[in-house]
């Protein structure tokens, strides 16, 4: 039943090591601009051709929600994620990505008035304290050792929050307003690419690409895996599964990322990272209480 979610996570896990490799050949804004523009226009034109459409219709009352999806759920997510990945390992980042279900549940609480049980509060508390070792400077290569907290790790944690907010916006656009998942993905990518390009112009930066023979093939592979297959697959799964159910499946992400990093880069997991990861999983175990389901907010569940 959940084999589609498992395969999706195995596919998504490839993107973190690939992003790390691409950031060695490019800057954060350059990678964001090229990746989002290429993926966005490819998805959009393919969708228009397959669906035989000539125009795109977006209701003006939904433009704000599309804007939130683009600015917070995509642009902010990728800029923070790429900046953080420059300085910490893919496996370290993957353990931070485990906090996705907590972020998703917090949005349930903030926007849909969901109430948690004592067991779920205990799970969130355990997860919070387990995250702390991952936020303390240990193997970051840019910031001073005497600095207590690792800013790249904090940036990645914020990127997870931005990602969950974007998923919530996508869920509403699909289930409440009946927008096509492919159209949402295309608009999100193109909008993010435009914002990243505008940022380059405003900051008077230049496009940075190292070895094009390494950068271009890996960029195309990343776009195909993550932006095209992965993102469209993910948005379609939102029709069948809840936002938090998909987030819970991301428990497998560190395992897959660690395996890929070990196979291709020889990276290893430190004891502190492993301890923090196990503690986060313990907290999420307490949090996920089947008797008090936090999976689908009532306002959305009626529309599924």
What confidence tens digit (pLDDT) does each residue in 222-243 have? 888 887 787 777 777 777 776 6
Per-residue pLDDT at 296: 36
Look up residue 303 and give its two tokens.
């529309």
Per-residue pLDDT at 67: 95
CB atoms within 10 A of CB 31: 23
**Residues 158/164, Cβ–Cβ less than 8 Å:** no
Those residues of the chain that have pLDDT short of 70 are 1-2, 137-147, 242-245, 247-250, 264-265, 288-304
Nearest to 67, CA basis, from 232, 234, 184, 236: 184
Q: What is the pTM of this model?
A: 0.79
Nearest to 189, CA basis, from 81, 48, 32: 32
Per-residue pLDDT at 298: 33
Q: From CA 183, how far away is CA 165, in angstroms rounded?
A: 18
Q: From CA 136, how far away is CA 105, in angstroms rounded?
A: 25
Per-residue pLDDT at 303: 32
CB atoms within 10 A of CB 142: 10
DSSP structure class, residue 38: H
Q: From CA 145, how far away is CA 139, in angstroms rounded?
A: 9
Per-residue pLDDT at 79: 95
**Residues 231/11, Cβ–Cβ less than 8 Å:** no
Reported as type and span, the H/E element at residue 73 is none
């Amino acid at each position: 039943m959940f084999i589609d979610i498992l395969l999706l996570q195995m596919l998504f896990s490839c993107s973190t090591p690939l992003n790390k490799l691409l950031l060695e050949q490019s800057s954060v804004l350059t990678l964001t601009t090229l990746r989002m523009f290429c993926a966005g226009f490819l998805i959009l034109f393919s969708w228009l051709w397959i669906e035989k459409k000539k125009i795109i219709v977006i209701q003006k009352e939904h433009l704000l929600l599309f804007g939130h999806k683009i600015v917070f759920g995509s642009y902010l997510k990728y800029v923070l994620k790429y900046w953080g990945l420059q300085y910490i390992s893919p496996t370290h980042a993957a353990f931070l990505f485990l906090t996705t279900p907590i972020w998703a549940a917090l949005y349930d609480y903030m926007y849909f008035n969901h109430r948690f049980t004592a067991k779920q509060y205990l799970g969130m508390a355990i997860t919070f304290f387990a995250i702390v070792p991952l936020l303390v400077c240990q193997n970051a290569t840019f910031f001073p050792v005497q600095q207590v907290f690792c800013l790249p790790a904090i940036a990645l944690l914020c990127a997870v929050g931005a990602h969950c907010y974007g998923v919530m916006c996508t869920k509403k656009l699909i289930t409440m307003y009946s927008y096509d998942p492919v159209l949402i993905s295309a608009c999100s990518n193109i909008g993010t690419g435009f914002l990243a390009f505008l940022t380059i112009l405003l900051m008077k930066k230049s496009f940075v690409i190292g070895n094009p023979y390494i950068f271009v093939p890996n960029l195309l592979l990343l776009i195909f895996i993550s932006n095209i297959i992965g993102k469209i697959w993910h948005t379609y799964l939102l029709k069948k599964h809840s936002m938090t159910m998909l987030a819970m499946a991301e428990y497998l992400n560190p395992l897959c990322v660690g395996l890929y990093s070990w196979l291709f880069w020889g990276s290893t997991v430190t004891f502190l990272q492993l301890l923090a990861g196990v503690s986060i999983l313990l907290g999420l175990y307490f949090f996920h209480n089947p008797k008090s389901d936090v999976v689908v907010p009532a306002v959305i569940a009626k529309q599924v």
